[in-house]
Amino acid sequence: MTSIKQHIFRFLYKYIGKPVFFRIDPEVTHDVVLWFGRMLGKYSLLQKCTRWCFDYRNPALSQHIAGIHFPNPVGVAAGFDKNAQLMSILPEVGFGFEEIGSVTGKPCAGNAKPRLWRLKKSQSLLVYYGLKNDGCEVVKTRVAGKSFRFPIGISIAKTNNTETVDAQKGIADYVQSYRTLATYADYIAINISCPNSFGGLAFTDAHLLDQLLAEIEKEPLKKPVFLKLSPDLQEKDIDAILVVCEKYTITGFICSNLTKVRKNEKIVDVVPSKNGGMSGKVVADLANSCIKYIYKKTQGKYIIVGCGGITTAHDAYEKIKAGASLVQLITGMIFEGPQVIGEINKGLTELLKKDGYKNISEAVGTSIK
Ligand SMILES: Cc1cc2nc3c(=O)[nH]c(=O)nc-3n(C[C@H](O)[C@H](O)[C@H](O)COP(=O)(O)O)c2cc1C
């Protein structure tokens, strides 16, 4: 399934890159990777070298969704490039789109360290960053007036402080980010599911979500809007959210964010902190259930972005057949290496061919009766 180049990079990452990275503190590793990515993205020769190493293209993977052209369905999820620093290099690594952020109205230092841990056996990360980011004004300077080789989503959340626990201040904070950044984004993701912020998941409450979406809808600049959901929602909570969304112009849902729930048979490590949410394999089945539920319940009305625990083409295809038009990942790349994006895209074209589909869009929702 994999090409020779992908085999070589898989081998190098498994036996050199990963053992080195996994000895270093996870947040320091994240910062080093961001620095390295920024350097690669600065010079066109290095961009071209990266493209030669990793990129995989096939027209069967491209789609037009909500007026946006996605060269392939595999995006980088919110949280990896929080401050909009990697838009020049991530398309060369093979991603079909990226979601910057989450970005908040004001700059935010995040929670006290340590706030990122590896759960190695569970192939998961425990994340307690607490929406650390430079704030919408600084992020604006990095995206304004620039064009990128792939679509850019910007994830917005409310500033993580005691002030935004007040619902009206929280709404004003979301609106400030929308107003500042929407013009530069192909789509906006409204993160109502950060497990690590003051006040909890206030905007999963239907009444508050209604108020939030009403204010966003008043903004004159219209962009496709996705809501990012928690994998820990009960079906009745999702139903209430769907009822509210009916009233507004919502393009779709991102299923899902990190899980906070510790009772999960996929957790095989000792979880080092009671704080934080988990990614990777721990969240995969929860995300898949969320995708299936929404796709079935709404009969494919919304665009679904599947996210959580994708490390192979089969994982991505499972989410696509369950109803996702696009997928996103972070943890899979950290555990498997950057060549995994090309491997997933190549694997997807082979799975499509095997099932007799000419384009990825034909596979969406096919496992849902
Ligand atoms: C280090 C890290 C930081 C994250 N930060 C955010 C964030 O700021 N906003 C957000 O919506 N999701 C955030 N997430 C959640 C991811 O976007 C994604 O939903 C989750 O990790 C599941 O995907 P994965 O298993 O492929 O990592 C973060 C995840 C990780 C691992």
**Known catalytic residues?**
194
Q: Which domain holds residue 333?
A: 4-363
In a domain, 368, yes or no: no
- The average pLDDT across 302-326 equals 98
In a domain, 50, yes or no: yes
In a domain, 316, yes or no: yes
Distance 136 CA to ligand 1 centre (A): 19
Check if the beta carbon of residue 140 is closer than 8 Å to that of residue 153.
no
DSSP characters over 41-101: HH-HHHHHHHHHHH----GGG-EEETTEEESSSEEEPTTSSTTS--TTTHHHHT-SEEEEE
pLDDT at 218: 97
- For ligand 1, what atom is nearest to the CA of residue 333? 26
- For ligand 1, what atom is nearest to the CA of residue 228? 11
- For ligand 1, what atom is nearest to the CA of residue 77? 17
pLDDT band at 3 (very low <50, low <70, confident <90, very high): confident
Residue type, 165: V
CA dihedral 87, 315, 361, 231 (to 10 degrees): -80
Using the predicted structure, report yes or no on whether residue 298 has a pLDDT greater than 60. Answer: yes
In a domain, 369, yes or no: no
Distance 47 CA to ligand 1 centre (A): 25
Using the predicted structure, report yes or no on whether residue 86 has a pLDDT greater than 90. Answer: yes
In a domain, 9, yes or no: yes
Supply 79's token pair: 């949280």
Using the predicted structure, report yes or no on whether residue 1 has a pLDDT greater than 70. Answer: no
pLDDT at 204: 87
- Of 18-32, 97-111, 143-157, 187-201, the poorest mean pLDDT is in 187-201
Radius of gyration of the chain (CA): 19
Supply 164's token pair: 């935004």
CA dihedral 249, 146, 73, 51 (to 10 degrees): 180
User: In the structure, which protein residues have their CB atom closer than 6 angstroms to any atom of ligand 1?
Assistant: 77-79, 82, 101-102, 116, 125, 127, 129, 131, 155, 191, 194, 228, 257-258, 279-280, 283, 307-310, 329-332
Using the predicted structure, report yes or no on whether residue 2 has a pLDDT greater than 70. Answer: no
Protein residue whose Cα sits closest to atom 15 of ligand 1: 257
Point out which residues pair with 40 in neighbouring strands. Answer: none
In a domain, 17, yes or no: yes
Distance 101 CA to ligand 1 centre (A): 10
Over residues 206-230, the pLDDT tens digits come to: 999 999 999 999 999 999 999 999 9
pLDDT band at 202 (very low <50, low <70, confident <90, very high): confident
DSSP SS3 for 254: strand
CA dihedral 249, 160, 119, 320 (to 10 degrees): 10
Distance 258 CA to ligand 1 centre (A): 6
DSSP SS3 for 75: strand
pLDDT at 194: 76
- For ligand 1, what atom is nearest to the CA of residue 82? 8
Over residues 92-138, the pLDDT tens digits come to: 999 999 999 999 999 999 999 999 999 999 999 999 999 999 999 99
Closest CA to 250 of 298, 286, 194: 298
Distance 279 CA to ligand 1 centre (A): 7
Using the predicted structure, report yes or no on whether residue 197 has a pLDDT greater than 90. Answer: no
Using the predicted structure, report yes or no on whether residue 90 has a pLDDT greater than 80. Answer: yes
Average pLDDT for the chain = 96
- The average pLDDT across 237-249 equals 97
Distance CA 283, CA 311 (A): 12
Distance CA 14, CA 243 (A): 46
How would you classify the pairing of strands 124-127 and 63-65?
Answer: unpaired
pLDDT at 330: 98
Over residues 29-47, the pLDDT tens digits come to: 999 999 999 999 999 999 9
In a domain, 287, yes or no: yes
In a domain, 321, yes or no: yes
**Residue holding tokens 């949410």?**
277
Using the predicted structure, report yes or no on whether residue 201 has a pLDDT greater than 80. Answer: no
pLDDT at 198: 76
Check if the beta carbon of residue 100 is closer than 8 Å to that of residue 155.
yes
| Total domains present in the chain | 1
Closest CA to 88 of 72, 100, 102: 100
Pocket test for ligand 1, best of 80, 131, 197, 257 (most atoms within 8 A of CB): 257
CATH number at residue 349: 3.20.20.70
Point out which residues pair with 191 in neighbouring strands. Answer: 228
Point out which residues pair with 253 in neighbouring strands. Answer: 227, 304
